[in-house]
Amino acid sequence: MTEKERLNWITENIIGAAIEVHRALGPGLLESAYEKCLAFELVQRGLKVEQQKPLPVVYRGVKLDCGYRLDLLVEEEVIVEVKAVDRLAPIHQAQLLSYLRLSGCKVGLLINFNVKVLKSGIRRIVNDFPDT
């Protein structure tokens, strides 16, 4: 499996798990509830998940804690930012892109659970995504 195929496989699994969580809970809860349930669902599917993982900024070779936290890091490769807002704003996408750049990860998912149909609340953000 190529890196591109692996990243696509992981993101497809995350989206499937998110749809399952949304189907069970619907919109209207806090982000923290969706995050915990999504992490549980991903682990049930056999994926490695880290929650609220600190993301340091490396400045002059020193790792500095600037308060950044990844909602979920799946398989050490895909960042998931969970939202429960009226609508996704450009700042949400900018936040995820910053996390991708700081972490070196190539793909992230921004998932807003506060929508009627989850498909309309998912954004896939890439940073140097592989061609092959």
The pLDDT, as a whole number, for residue 35 is: 98
Residue 132 is predicted with a pLDDT of 54
pLDDT for the residue 130: 66
**Burial annotation 31-49 (CB, 10 A radius, 16+ → b, else e):** beebbebbbebbeeeebeb
Extract the tokens encoding 28: 């209207």
Check residue 23 and give its pLDDT. Answer: 97
- Alpha carbons 117 and 122: distance in angstroms, whole number: 10
Q: Which residues of the chain have pLDDT under 50?
A: none
Q: Residue 5 has what pLDDT?
A: 94
Q: What is the pLDDT of residue 1?
A: 86
Cα–Cα distance for residue pair 6/23, rounded to 1 Å: 26
Q: How close are the terminal C-alpha atoms of the chain, in Å? A: 10
Distance CA 93, CA 73 (A): 16
Single pTM value for the model: 0.93
- Give me the pLDDT at residue 126, please: 93
Tokens, residue 7: 């990243």
